[in-house]
Amino acid sequence: MSYDLRAFVKHLSPGHVFVAPALLILFVFFLAPVAGAFVMSFTDFDIYALADLKNLSFIGLDNYISLLGSPLFWKAFGNTAYFALVGTPLSIALSLGLAMALNTPGVGLKPVFRTVLFGPYVATLVAAAIIWRYMLDFHFGWVNRGLGVVGVPPIDWLGDPHWSMPAIILFAVWKNFGYNMLILLAALQKIPDELYESARVDGAGPWSRFLHVTLPGVAPVLWMVALLTVAGYFQLFAEPYVMTQGGPAQSTFSLLFYMYQDGFKYWNLGHASATAFILFAILIGISFIRNRSQEAFA
Partner 1 sequence: MIKRVPTLIAGTVLVFATIWAAFPLFWMTSMSFMPEAEANAFPARLLPVDPTLDNYAELFAYQHMGRYVLNSLFVACLATALSLAFNVTAGYAFAKLRFKGREKLFQALLAALVIPGQLTMLPLFFLLKNLHLLNTYVGVVVPFMSSLFGIFLVRQYALSLPDEMLQAARVDGASEWQVFRRIVLPNLRPIMVTLGVFTFLAAWNDFLWPLIVLSDDAYYTLPLAIAALSQEHLQDQGLMMAGATVTIAPVLILFILLQRHYVRGLLSGSVKG
Residues 250-269 touching partner 1, rule: CB under 8 A, are 256, 259-260, 263-264, 269
- Measured CA to CA, the distance from residue 293 to residue 287 in angstroms comes to 10
Looking at the Cβ atoms of 32 and 215, the one nearer to partner 1 is: 32
How far is Cα 227 from Cα 286, in angstroms, rounded to an integer? 7
DSSP state of 123: S
Among 223, 238, 247, 248, which residue sits at the site for partner 1 (rule: CB under 8 A)?
238
Shortest separation between residue 120's beta carbon and partner 1, angstroms: 5
Contact window for partner 1 (CB under 8 A) among 59-67, 85-93, 157-165, 237-245: 237-245
Interacting residues with partner 1 between 12 and 51 (CB under 8 A)? 12-16, 18-19, 21-23, 25-26, 28-34, 36-37, 40, 50
DSSP 213: I
Within a 13 Å sphere around the CA of 76, how many CA atoms are in the beta-carbon half? Answer: 29
Q: Which of residues 171-200 bind partner 1 (CB under 8 A)?
A: 174, 178-179, 182-183, 186
- Give CA torsion, residues 95, 96, 102, 106, to 10 deg: -160
Q: Which of 235, 247, 248, 293 binds partner 1 (CB under 8 A)?
A: 235
* Closest to partner 1 by CB, 32 or 72: 32
State how far the Cα of 197 lies from the Cα of 29, in Å rounded to an integer: 54
Per-residue mark of binding to partner 1, 147-176 (x: CB under 8 A): ---------------------------x--
Query: What value, to the nearest 5°, has the Cα angle with vertex 243 and ends 239 and 245?
Result: 90
Confirm or reject binding of residue 130 to partner 1 (CB under 8 A): yes
Q: Is 211 in the site for partner 1 (CB under 8 A)?
A: no
CA distance 215 to 125: 31
Asked whether position 117 contacts partner 1 by CB under 8 A, the answer is yes
What CA–CA distance (Å, rounded) separates 238 from 252?
Answer: 11
